[in-house]
Amino acid sequence: MAMAMAMMFRNAASRRPMSPISGLRSMSSWWKHVEPAPKDPILGVTEAFLADPSPDKVNVGVGAYRDDNGKPVVLECVREAERRIAGTSFMEYLPMGGSVKMMEETLKLAYGDDSEFIKDKRIAAVQSLSGTGACRLFADFQKRFCPDSQIYIPVPTWSNHHNIWRDAQVPQKTYHYYHPETKGLDFSGLMNDVKNAPEGSFFLLHACAHNPTGVDPTDEQWREISQLFKAKNHFAFFDMAYQGFASGDPARDAKSIRIFLEDGHHIGISQSYAKNMGLYGQRVGCLSVLCEDAKQAVTVKSQLQQLARPMYSNPPLHGAQIVSTILGDPELKSLWLKEVKIMADRIIGMRTTLRESLEKLGSPLSWEHVTKQIGMFCYSGLTPEQVDRLTSEYHIYMTRNGRISMAGVTTGNVGYLANAIHEVTKSS
């Protein structure tokens, strides 16, 4: 009897609830193995800039447009669109594929107002979370339906491209793009890599204003690239983050895409309104895939929507309303075209001023590449060690690959920037 009672007490004790303290200790060990993530090389620059108390500090690392006073800009066309949609009674979910009106206008920008592909309904398109979301959706689409494929990415490229295709579990290879000695395009290296890639490979191409180099192929070089892609049956996926923002002319900036379309390619395109409308925080963009016919386009779109559903269900409404209001109204669209050209022209002007300032200081180096490159970024040729000196001695912040965001260069700081660059490079 005594032995039975003792056994009963022991069993009861084993079923006793765990004390709150021991429970917390157990749960805390769940994430003990998690290490801090490495700092984003671009966003980390802004964090360091904000923490610097120096009154002379300059941030030429951020990839966002600033006016000549270094202030963020809200375009007048955006303000007017906001006024028109303010107080709208529609706050419901958008369809999984997004705003139909916004996508109709967006496709016209990329494929052309009179595009036969739009008329024939051969384009599968969905609204995306800006350009990043469009790239990620396509990467997942590629992995699901071409599971044995890989993606060829240029060297260098926007650092997040590698993250996107890595997390979609698509194997990556690289192709030559930038020539460090000439600070221009390594066209022969690019063509050799395209030629030697297995037939039917996927390639990521920057449609215009290559990030981070600002180096774009000429129209004739794009035609040669397109012809080689056709001979090799490669698939071209264009990331077009800067349409209109590069040259000031959206049609001019889509020239690479139009060349591929003229040559009969079926392509994919990522579009974003972060830069060219200043809608950075609205996260509004579009992913489109040109298909063989309307039936295939319906099928592909259904699968893109299926991929989006578990990610974010459906895209946000407000940014899509702004874009569709601007592009759908001739007066507002005309104002946008004027404003996007003003932004592009200011950056082009700052390139000229920076180059002239360095030459006037008697720099022993050539700075011709500053004005030859195009778009938001200038691939300066500065070494990581020179960038470190700019930061430690002059409180100038940029990524360590020497990429200068020309949007952060103003008439007020261009002289200071040029002098600092001259000081750290004059002994090179």
Q: Tell me what pLDDT residue 410 has.
A: 96
Q: Tell me what pLDDT residue 39 has.
A: 81
Of 14-18, 126-130, 138-142, 409-413, the one with minimum mean pLDDT is 14-18
Q: How confident is the model at residue 26 (pLDDT cuts 50, 70, 90)?
A: low
Q: Residue 199 belongs to a domain with what CATH number?
A: 3.40.640.10
Same domain, 306 and 398: no
Report pTM. 0.91
Domain boundaries, position 323: 94-328
- In a domain, residue 382? The reply is yes
Active site members: 158, 239, 275
Percent of the chain with pLDDT over 70: 93
**End-of-domain residue from the set 263, 296, 328:** 328
Q: What is the pLDDT of residues 290-304, one digit of tens each?
A: 999 999 999 999 999
Same domain, 316 and 352: no
For the chain, what is the domain count?
A: 2
Q: Which whole number is the average pLDDT over 12-21?
A: 49
pLDDT for 17 beyond 70: no
Same domain, 278 and 381: no
Same domain, 406 and 274: no
pLDDT for 340 beyond 90: yes
- In a domain, residue 12? The reply is no
- In a domain, residue 82? The reply is no
Q: Residue 409 belongs to a domain with what CATH number?
A: 3.90.1150.10
**End-of-domain residue from the set 279, 297, 328:** 328
Residues 125, 116 contacting (CB under 8 angstroms):
no
- In a domain, residue 7? The reply is no
pLDDT for 7 beyond 60: no
Same domain, 282 and 415: no
Phi, psi of 332 (to 5 degrees): -70, -35
- In a domain, residue 240? The reply is yes
Q: What is the pLDDT of residues 303-324, one digit of tens each?
A: 999 999 999 999 999 999 999 9
Q: What is the pLDDT of residues 86-135, one digit of tens each?
A: 987 688 999 999 999 999 999 999 999 999 999 999 999 999 999 999 99
Half-sphere exposure of 335 (CA within 13 A, CB side): 17
Same domain, 315 and 351: no
Same domain, 202 and 309: yes
Q: Which whole number is the average pLDDT over 342-368?
A: 97
Same domain, 306 and 199: yes
Give the tokens for residue 314.
């459906």
Q: Tell me what pLDDT residue 44 has.
A: 84
**End-of-domain residue from the set 328, 357, 389:** 328
Q: Tell me what pLDDT residue 63 has.
A: 85
Quote the CA–CA distance of 160 and 246 in Å, as a whole number: 20
Same domain, 324 and 287: yes
- In a domain, residue 17? The reply is no
Same domain, 151 and 255: yes
- In a domain, residue 129? The reply is yes
Task: Centre a 10 Å sphere on the Cβ of residue 359 and count the other Cβ atoms it contains.
Answer: 16
**What average pLDDT does the chain have?**
93
- In a domain, residue 22? The reply is no
Same domain, 186 and 135: yes
Q: How confident is the model at residue 13 (pLDDT cuts 50, 70, 90)?
A: very low
Question: pLDDT: is 250 or 19 the higher one?
Answer: 250
Q: Which whole number is the average pLDDT over 13-24?
A: 49
Q: What is the pLDDT of residues 371-391, one digit of tens each?
A: 999 999 999 999 999 999 999
Same domain, 111 and 203: yes
